[in-house]
Amino acid sequence: MNSRLTHAKGEIDMSGKMLLLSATALALWLGAGPVQAGGLRTPFGEVTIKNLKIGQTYSLKDLINFPLRVINTGSQTVDLEVETIRVSTASLKRGFEPLPDLSWVQVEQSTFTIAPQHEAVTDITVSIPNDPKLLGRRFQADIWSRTENKKSMFLVAIDSRLLIEVSSIPPTPDELKKKFVHHRVANMDFTLFPTSARANDVPLGRDYDLKKERKIAIKIVNPNDEPLHFRIKSVPNWEALLHVPKGFEEAYDARWLKPAHEVVTVDGNTIKETGLILDVPDDPRYYGKSFFFPVSVEILEQEIPAKVYYTLLVTLQNPSRPQR
């Protein structure tokens, strides 16, 4: 499945979940990057925003060029409603509290009519009350985008998760005077395609070029006029904190996976492809193992380090197993 605010230094991470509802059934998936359910798709899966100051209001569109976008991938026009909802205990991420007041997270436009293959776009603003008791705390808000097409027996909904980390440093008097933070601190207007891949029966004990051997590569789409620069790095999942699919386990060593190029420059209005090299030691402990590798794609030269994650699923060969 598939995939991206801060006043001072911070970090943006992404993963996602999607919901498909009918009168009698509920299905829940976890994954990374853009999410899709039925005839809806959004690149706004899970976003972590760090170092927000109390007494300030932030616009995701102004700060990181990343409004909420929902695409109608179905064949019929749909009515869409977008709203901030209360977080259930079951979906609360570890280390975060439910948003105390839904008014903290506002959707600029909440209702849309979307033709097939068209998208709804709305800004999301986050307002942190000027309360010292909030310093250093972390909150979760869920944003639901759901259809209201009465001609269909299904209600399709996508749940976008917004994780808010409040700075432990109080705002300065000048910051309090501004209230609304307008300046751009990052540009997240780019796309990974694809955002995940799987490779089975991969040999051990040598550099294995996934692009050459399996046609597996990361494509970065830059729709901006100016070039963008990215750092590609395999990271341990304790850092990425992504969902590990059933049947896989976190890679024992993130360094087994290396990018073909650590820094990639993507010119304006172009697509750049970069490969991945896998080298798992030839050790019987790893024979037949299925590993999960998160790959951080970090946009550089921004006021904040902004990351999107690509995921790789690998099943290794088992040389000890008799060949048929």
Cβ-based neighbour number of residue 8 at 10 Å: 14
pLDDT of residue 8: 26
Taking only the tens place, the pLDDT of each residue in 32-68 is 345 555 578 887 877 878 888 999 999 888 877 788 8
Closest CA to 114 of 72, 52, 158: 72
- Mean pLDDT (the chain) is 81
Calculate ∠ Cα 168-16-21, nearest 5°: 125
At residue 316, what is the residue type? L
Structural fold of domain 14-181: Immunoglobulin-like (2.60.40)
Q: Are 106 and 57 in contact (CB under 8 A)?
A: no
In CATH terms, the superfamily for domain 191-316 is Immunoglobulins (2.60.40.10)
pTM strictly above 0.95: no
Closest CA to 257 of 307, 212, 218, 207: 207
Report in angstroms the alpha-carbon separations of 68 from 27, 39, 123, 221, 305: 23, 16, 6, 18, 20
258 vs 154, more confident: 258
Model confidence at 262: pLDDT above 90: yes
pLDDT of residue 274: 94
Closest CA to 108 of 83, 91, 85: 83
Q: What is the DSSP letter of 175?
A: H
Q: What is the DSSP letter of 246?
A: T
The per-residue DSSP string of 251-283 comes to: -S-GGGEEES-SEEEE-TTEEEEEEEEE-----
198 vs 41, more confident: 198
The structural domains of the chain, with segments of one domain joined by +, span: 14-181, 191-316
Model confidence at 192: pLDDT above 90: no
Model confidence at 103: pLDDT above 70: yes
Taking only the tens place, the pLDDT of each residue in 116-174 is 878 888 999 999 999 999 999 999 999 999 987 666 556 788 888 888 999 999 988 88
Question: Worst-scoring range by mean pLDDT, 15-24, 185-194, 289-298?
Answer: 15-24
pLDDT of residue 29: 23
